[in-house]
Amino acid sequence: MEDRKGAGDPCDLNAQDCLPALALNNANAKETSALSEGGLASLIGMAFYARGMDCGGTALLIAFDQGTPYENENFAWFKALGRPFVYIDRVIVAEAARGLGIARLLYEDLFGAAMRAGHSRVVCEVNIEPPNPGSEAFHAAMGFSGVGEATIHNGAKRVRYFEKLLG
């Protein structure tokens, strides 16, 4: 078992009090995308899963199911396949808290929530251009398999799509 010193339990993110999560998100905007306070509150409000550590100040994970009215190229790619899913939109762990097993804890919590809701598939994308080898390795270790690739944002990014079958 990974060291989870200081990891605690995930808690629900609150759309009315999301300043710690906003600060964490925007400190990592290169990997995710910058958001306004209203933009983050909107994501949390429509999320299937929005949980984190320390009100999202240390870590956060936001995911949507296939029925969410979410406008996003990557989400649309999975939706076009016509199979139910839970889509991980963003997962961020503060630099000082990396290596403590927090991302794994959030993913396992998400998998449990997805299974309890009757979902059998969790999906996400990882940048391959610009490269993100740490994220690719993490997702492989968590049991995700590659299911496709796409060039997005008018050629600015290339992503690999992953899925994990639950149960």
- What tens digit of pLDDT does each residue of 33-72 get? 899 999 999 999 999 999 999 999 999 999 999 999 999 9
- CA 47 to mean position of chain CA atoms: 11
Residue 52 makes CB contacts below 8 A (sequence gap 6+) with: 10, 11, 13, 21, 58, 59, 60, 61, 106
The answer to whether residues 100 and 5 touch, using CB atoms and an 8 Å cutoff, is yes
Residue at 1 is within a domain? no
How does residue 122 score in pLDDT terms, banded at 50, 70 and 90?
A: very high
Distance between CA atoms of residues 78 and 76, nearest Å:
5
Asked whether residue 5 is domain-assigned, the answer is: no
Which residues touch 96 (CB under 8 Å, ≥6 apart)?
none
Structure tokens belonging to residue 116: 């309890």
- CA angle, corner 131, sides to 18 and 81, nearest 5? 75
* Residue at 135 is within a domain: yes
Structural domain includes residue 2: no
Q: How many domains does the chain have?
A: 1
Residue 2 has pLDDT above 50, yes or no: no
Mean of all residue pLDDT scores within the chain? 92
Residue 133 domain-assigned (yes or no): yes
| Domain containing residue 48 | 11-165
Asked whether the predicted pLDDT for residue 6 surpasses 90, the reply is no
CATH code: domain of residue 63 = 3.40.630.30
